Amino acid sequence: MPFPGTGPIWFNGEFVPWDEANVHVMTHALHYGSGVFEGIRCYKTERGPAVFRLDEHVDRMFTSSKIYRMPIPYTPEQIRDAILDTIRRNELESCYIRPLVFRGYGQIGVNPRQCPVEVAIGVWDWGKYLGPEALEKGVNVCVSSWNRAAPNTFPALAKASGNYLNSQLAKMEALENGYEEAIVLDPSGYVSEGSGENIFLIKDEGIITPPSSTSILPGITRHSVIVLARELGYEVVKRQVPRETLYIADELFFTGTAAEVTPIATVDRIPVGEGKRGPMTEAIQEAFFAILREERKIATTG
């Protein structure tokens, strides 16, 4: 599939044409995974394009870069403005936004500090990540043979490029075996998350999601869904989830910027509940999409 983007990219403070936003092959990040990034969505609304929780995404990118001692040579406000400018320049009504901070060209060697910290922001038109039918029918997933990294190896709270090598292994394995997505367990064998999504379980009308101690990226969509579900009157708890709980859940769903709120139909070919989207997942989806259409407001704390 050709890459869907073509418009200007914000690259180190300037707009450059899509085809000219290039780096040297000796760029540090290419060799050593030294990058942090965000995935953000901008939705079409009656007031024009609106970015979903921009401040939280920019904050997380600064958190990720702090963990990796990769000082971003711009303020959060400059990055927010650059993101909004890039959307305007690309004249898109809705889009996916990819800001990337990386160690550039300077020296090859594990120590990154001789390499400049560079920033790029690209945007492009992007549909439904797990396919247009997934939001209604749900996806078929497996439990990966790969585990997430232990907390003292690759910090999960940083959305770092290198972390996605693990995600790629899980995703490729799932696709090779005929599944659409993988659920990955943490190093102790508890459920962690999908290759690029958080996971929620519904059992006996209670909602459970794995806590941040289980090697998850604490998703911004996850946070929104926790707040929303509580507003809808559901009880939500963060606690460890043993693998077999997946097989006996009434409903399961993924959350993420790309996946939004996607039901899970089967796990390891075992139907979740009735093997289709359940009523609580549907209620949460509806409330979530009402926010995106600006028909409902969400509290940003909780």
Point out the residues that are catalytic.
159
99 lines the binding site for ligand PMP (CB under 6 A): no
Closest to ligand PMP by CB, 163 or 273: 163
Closest to ligand PMP by CB, 16 or 157: 157
35 lines the binding site for ligand PMP (CB under 6 A): no
DSSP secondary structure string, the chain? Answer: ---S--S-EEETTEEE-GGG----TT-HHHHH--EEE--EEEEEETTEEEETTHHHHHHHHHHHHHHTT---SS-HHHHHHHHHHHHHHHT-SSEEEEEEEEE-SS--SS-GGGS-EEEEEEEE----TT-TTHHHH-EEEEEEEEEPPPTTTS-TTS-BTTHHHHHHHHHHHHHHTT-SEEEEE-TTSBEEEESSSEEEEEETTEEEE--GGGS----HHHHHHHHHHHHTT-EEEE---BTTHHHH-SEEEEEETTTEEEEEEEETTEESTTTS--HHHHHHHHHHHHHHTTSS---S--
Closest to ligand PMP by CB, 42 or 115: 42
Among 118, 180, 181, 193, binds ligand PMP (CB under 6 A): 193
Where does this chain touch ligand PMP (CB under 6 A) — which range of 6-14, 63-71, 212-220, 275-283? 212-220
Q: Which of residues 140-169 bind ligand PMP (CB under 6 A)?
A: 167
Among 115, 197, 208, 236, binds ligand PMP (CB under 6 A): 197
Closest residue to ligand PMP, Cβ-based? 219
Among 122, 219, 273, 278, binds ligand PMP (CB under 6 A): 219
Q: Which of residues 236-255 bind ligand PMP (CB under 6 A)?
A: 255
Task: Provide the minimum distance between the beta carbon of 193 and ligand PMP in the complex, in angstroms, as a whole number.
Answer: 5
Task: Provide the minimum distance between the beta carbon of 129 and ligand PMP in the complex, in angstroms, as a whole number.
Answer: 10
198 lines the binding site for ligand PMP (CB under 6 A): yes
Interacting residues with ligand PMP (CB under 6 A): 39, 167, 193, 196-198, 217, 219-222, 255-257
